[in-house]
């Protein structure tokens, strides 16, 4: 399916996809707004995609939990979300998420430009590929350093304290951590915790989309003695962070280089497909027209 943003990366233009997490359900700074339903062979995405521009840069916005926060973390169709954004021609993908802190120095109200993940989710479909089309992409460095640095700088311009780097523990949810779990995650080296970055980051890499995650710290999880997570407290910080997140996207648009240089992630599927061409499942290959059409031909 072709959309107003689906002309590819050959012209060197930035087309930024933004996935909004808890508290970020729209981008008010968008001009020339179009709201479109984009179909995916992987099922129903979280909602329609909002297209528009900020400072002349094209954006495609999708709220991860849907309008009114109706979709729980474990019920999000992560594959459909990434697929429809790729169909909209985005070149890079910024995820904005509410997170809990596992470190004293990552205080509520601050932002974290995440650079690593530990995946503790279960039962979520973590790949576009499978039987009949086996593929292994590299995920050693799951975040695009260029986009992450640009997003961190934009958040600083929006007045936020930003920690550049941090390991995100992706938990299943929907409940928050037990105190024992929270302390264990700290021992593992995790710095922040959330419920939605996996398999989102994995799928973005398979889709050859440079991915960055800007986490908005809302709480200290439950590792501190005598403290625990309450939704009411999270919401108070989240609402304040949401305004700064919108400002961050505006600053990001203003500071992007005029030309988008190629990223190694643009060709992440080169050499990653293991199944010999004559043995590939044609039905699965057809579903992958947007995700892997570049290499499947």
Q: Which residues does the annotation mark as catalytic?
A: 219, 221
User: CB under 8 Å to 175, separation ≥6 — which residues?
Assistant: none
- Structure tokens given for 166: 């941090």
- Structure tokens given for 121: 């989710």
Cβ-in-10-Å burial (0-12, 13-18, 19+) of 59 comes to: buried
User: DSSP character for 281?
Assistant: -
**Alpha carbons 248 and 280: distance in angstroms, whole number:** 43
Contact present, 118 and 170 (Cβ < 8 Å): yes
User: CB under 8 Å to 230, separation ≥6 — which residues?
Assistant: none
For residues 20, 26, 28, 33, the Cα torsion angle rounded to the nearest 10 degrees is: 110
**Alpha carbons 73 and 69: distance in angstroms, whole number:** 10
Contact present, 201 and 211 (Cβ < 8 Å): yes
Q: Can you spell out the DSSP letters for 95-131?
A: EEEEEEESSTTS-TT-EEEE-EEEE---S----S-BT
């Amino acid at each position: 399916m072709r959309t107003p943003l689906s002309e590819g990366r050959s012209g060197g233009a930035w087309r930024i996809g933004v996935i909004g997490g808890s508290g970020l359900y729209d981008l008010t700074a968008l001009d020339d707004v179009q709201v479109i339903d984009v179909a995916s062979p992987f099922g129903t995405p979280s909602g329609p995609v909002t297209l528009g521009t900020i400072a002349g840069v094209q954006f495609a916005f999708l709220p991860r939990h849907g309008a009114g926060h109706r979709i729980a973390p474990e019920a999000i169709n992560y594959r459909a979300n990434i697929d429809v954004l790729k169909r909209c021609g985005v070149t890079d993908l910024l995820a904005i998420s509410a997170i809990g802190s596992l470190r004293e120095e990552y205080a509520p109200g601050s932002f974290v430009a995440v650079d690593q993940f530990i995946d503790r989710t279960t039962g979520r479909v973590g790949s576009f590929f499978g039987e009949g089309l086996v593929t292994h992409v590299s995920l050693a460095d799951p975040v695009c350093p260029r986009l992450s640095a640009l997003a961190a700088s934009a958040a600083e311009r929006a007045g936020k304290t930003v920690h550049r780097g941090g390991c995100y523990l992706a938990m299943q949810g929907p409940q928050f951590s037990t105190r024992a779990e929270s302390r264990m995650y700290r021992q593992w080296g995790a710095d922040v915790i959330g419920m939605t970055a996996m398999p989102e980051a994995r799928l973005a890499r398979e889709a050859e989309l440079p991915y960055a995650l800007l986490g908005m710290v809302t709480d200290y999880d439950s590792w501190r003695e005598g403290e625990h997570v309450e939704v009411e407290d999270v919401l108070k910080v989240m609402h304040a962070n949401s305004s700064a997140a919108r400002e961050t996207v505006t600053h990001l648009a203003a500071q992007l280089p005029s030309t988008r240089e190629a990223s190694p992630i643009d060709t992440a599927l080169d050499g990653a497909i293991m199944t010999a061409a004559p043995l590939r499942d044609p039905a699965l290959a057809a579903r992958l027209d947007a995700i892997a059409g570049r290499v499947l031909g």
